[in-house]
């Protein structure tokens, strides 16, 4: 057992769940037993871990703190959380850091709301029903900002990146912040933290006290990628598909920094959406960017996309290398076009209702060995559907790399098998090999060499 433990602490909500009805208190107390208990324990431990120990294996984190416990308790004014054997780094002079306090109660808020909503409120079998669920979860978390001009930039990128790439993402965030853009990321480390940190400094310089630093995650990811301390608003979505839909419905522009399989999954998701003919006229600027050292990375990524999805896919994104100011200028120009389009079509600024996301991109994909093996990675189908299955392939690789369920499946049954056209498998093999060579799959470990969780058939 590590000796850096806070043996016992009792904390009250600050900003979240501080005004509750008796019925809401009863619902929250149910977290102490049943299926939510384990999920809340794992997610809350990840929040308490914040960025003290960079671990992208949730099992390793659980093994470090095997005696950690969390209980929801009732008092005369609502609820409190009782923590035992929690990481001491989350406390200062015996007091829990305020940002971590907010994150803990955000996790509790979302898990309970999702659990109750799934049973009684949400229709999760239709496309409109799923979009409604995404909207209501975000609204319940109070992250939808009505009345504001479009300015939320979604930033995707790897948690396992070089210092140079991290500094570059921070500089891009800084340039965006100087132009009063807000930041939304997957809430973890690396390229998810850099843009927020840069924007926070720029907002301070511009005396902008209303900047938004939004982190969106899901239970299978948060335990492997703890929220970074810059995140002011943390939202837990039920699964990766609803997390991805949240990004594209909330964001007014998307920036992709260097990353690995997870970043590729996100990129293929938005391209699958934009390749749908129904979305052909909807503006959503998409930029791929990194420092000069990342030029080969994006060239390989660009080649993979054009060889698998066709040359027209290049019209949907722009690659900008080593020029943070140009990235910010391009994004601001694109966001203005989004604003004008939303006004002309009477769509909301805070949620992109007009964007069509087909049901097959919304339904959760379980990356089992059978499901991975039966993905149709062939070119005899609409290109947006192929992008969807490629997204699922990379989602499975992410699961096999860092998620408890995926790690367990790989340990028991060996690597996932992916098969398809040689014209798809060959560039995919080249891209994944480059991710492995550059240590973009997982955080580097002194004790372990990365073992692929996948096998490409036909490559």
What pLDDT is attached to residue 54?
Answer: 54
Q: How much of the chain exceeds pLDDT 90, in percent?
A: 70
Identify the residue whose tokens are 């140009």: 326
Q: Are 202 and 176 in contact (CB under 8 A)?
A: yes
pLDDT tens-digit map of 325-364: 999 999 999 999 999 999 999 999 999 999 999 999 999 9
pLDDT at 315 over 60: yes
Q: Which of 362, 358, 356 is nearest to 280 (CA)?
A: 356
384 pLDDT exceeds 90? yes
Our CA angle for 70, 139, 76, nearest 5°, is 40
Residue-level length of the chain: 459
d(CA 287, CA 142): 28
Q: Which residue has the tokens 């490409």?
A: 456
Q: What is the mean pLDDT of residues 363-391?
A: 95
Q: For residue 140, which of 161, 117, 157 has the smallest C-alpha distance?
A: 117
What does the block give as tokens for 3? 């000796």
CA dihedral 44, 48, 51, 57 (to 10 degrees): -40
Beta bridge partners of 164: none
Q: Which residues make Cβ contacts (< 8 Å) with residue 282, sequence separation at least 6?
A: 274, 341, 352, 354, 355
Q: How far apart are CA 112 and CA 132, in angstroms?
A: 17
Q: How far apart are the first and last CA of the chain?
A: 45
Q: Domains of the chain, with CATH numbers?
A: 5-121 (3.30.1850.10), 155-459 (3.40.50.450)
* DSSP structure class, residue 154: E
The distance between the two most distant Cα atoms of the chain, rounded to a whole number of Å, is 65
List strands edge to edge, sheet with 5-11. 5-11, 78-87, 69-75
pLDDT at site 119: 54
The SS3 of residue 246 is: helix
Q: How many other C-beta atoms lie within 10 A of the C-beta of residue 201?
A: 14
**Structure-block tokens of residue 71:** 């209980």
pLDDT at 53 over 80: no
Query: Does position 309 have pLDDT exceeding 60, yes or no?
Result: yes
For residue range 405-448, list pLDDT tens digits in order.
Answer: 888 899 999 999 999 999 999 999 999 999 988 888 766 654 56
Task: Name which of 302, 255, 261 is nearest 156 in CA terms.
Answer: 255
Query: Rounded to 5 degrees, what are φ and ψ at 199?
Result: -65, -35
291-316 CB burial, b ≥16 within 10 A, e <16: beebeebbebbeebbebbbeeebeeb
What number of other Cβ atoms are within 10 A of residue 54's Cβ?
Answer: 15
Helices (H) and strands (E) in the chain, counts: 17, 14
Distance in angstroms (rounded) separating the CA atoms of residues 67 and 45: 11
The packing angle between helices 35-49 and 98-120, to 10°, is 150
User: Could you tell me where the beta strands, DSSP code E, fall in 3-77?
Assistant: 5-11, 69-75
The answer to whether the CB of 391 falls within 8 A of the CB of 367 is no
The three-state secondary structure class of 228 is coil
pLDDT of residue 152: 98
Q: Is 242 helix (H, G, I), strand (E, B) or coil?
A: helix
Please report the DSSP string for 421-453 in residue order. -HHHHHHHHHHHHHHHHTT-SS---SS-----S
Find tokens 């149709």 and name the residue. 376
* pLDDT at 60 > cutoff 90: no
93-105 confidence digits (pLDDT tens): 889 999 999 999 9
With bands split at pLDDT 50, 70 and 90, how would you rate the model's confidence at 157? Answer: very high
Under 8 Å between Cβ of 181 and 255: no
Whole-angstrom Cα distance, residue 437 to residue 40?
35
**DSSP letter string over 302-369?**
HHHHHHHH-GGGGGG-EEEES-HHHHHHHHHHHHHHHHHHHHHHT--SSS--S----HHHHSPP---H
| Dist. CA 179–CA 201, nearest whole Å | 12
Distance CA 196, CA 234 (A): 13
Distance, CA of 173 to CA of 352 (rounded, Å): 23
User: Where residue 459 falls among pLDDT bands split at 50, 70, 90?
Assistant: very low
């Amino acid at each position: 057992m590590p000796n850096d433990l806070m043996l016992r602490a009792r904390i009250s909500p600050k900003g979240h769940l501080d005004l509750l009805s008796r019925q809401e208190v009863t619902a929250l107390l149910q977290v102490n037993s049943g299926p939510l208990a384990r999920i809340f324990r794992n997610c809350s431990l990840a929040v308490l871990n914040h960025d003290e120990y960079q671990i992208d294996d949730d099992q390793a984190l659980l093994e470090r703190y095997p005696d950690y416990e969390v209980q929801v308790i009732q008092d005369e004014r609502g609820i409190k959380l009782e923590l035992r054997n929690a990481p001491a780094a989350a406390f200062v002079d015996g007091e829990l850091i305020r940002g971590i306090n907010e994150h803990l109660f955000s996790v509790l808020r979302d898990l309970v709301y999702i659990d109750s909503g799934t049973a009684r409120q949400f229709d999760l079998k239709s496309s409109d029903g799923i979009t409604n669920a995404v909207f209501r979860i975000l609204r319940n978390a109070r992250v939808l900002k009505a009345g504001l001009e479009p300015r939320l930039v979604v930033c995707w990128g790897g948690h396992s990146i070089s210092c140079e790439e991290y500094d570059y993402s921070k500089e891009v965030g800084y340039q965006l912040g100087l132009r009063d853009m807000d930041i939304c990321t997957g809430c973890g480390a690396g390229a998810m933290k850099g843009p927020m940190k840069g924007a926070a400094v720029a907002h301070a310089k511009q005396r902008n006290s209303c900047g938004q630093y939004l982190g969106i995650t899901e239970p299978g990811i948060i335990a492997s990628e703890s929220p970074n301390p810059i995140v002011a608003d943390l939202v837990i979505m039920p699964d990766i598909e609803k997390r991805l839909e949240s990004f594209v419905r909330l964001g007014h522009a998307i920036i992709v920094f260097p990353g690995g399989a997870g970043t590729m999954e996100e990129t293929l998701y938005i391209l699958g959406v934009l390749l749908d003919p129904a979305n052909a006229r909807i503006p959503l600027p998409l930029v791929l960017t990194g420092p000069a050292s990342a030029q080969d990375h994006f060239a390989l990524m660009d080649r993979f996309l054009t060889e698998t999805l066709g040359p027209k896919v290049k019209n949907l994104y722009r690659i900008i290398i080593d020029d943070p100011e140009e990235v910010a200028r391009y994004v601001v120009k694109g966001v203005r076009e989004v604003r004008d389009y939303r006004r002309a079509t009477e769509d909301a600024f805070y949620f992109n209702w007009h964007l069509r996301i087909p049901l097959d991109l919304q339904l959760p994909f379980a990356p089992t060995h059978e499901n991975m093996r039966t993905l149709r990675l062939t070119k005899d189908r609409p290109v947006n559907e192929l992008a969807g299955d490629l997204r699922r392939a990379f989602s499975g690789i992410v699961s096999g790399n860092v998620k408890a369920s995926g790690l367990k499946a790989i340990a028991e049954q060996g690597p996932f098998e992916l098969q398809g056209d040689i014209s798809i498998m060959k560039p995919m093999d080249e891209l994944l090999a480059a991710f492995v060579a550059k240590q973009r799959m997982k955080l580097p470990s002194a004790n372990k060499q990365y073992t692929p969780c996948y096998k490409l058939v036909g490559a």
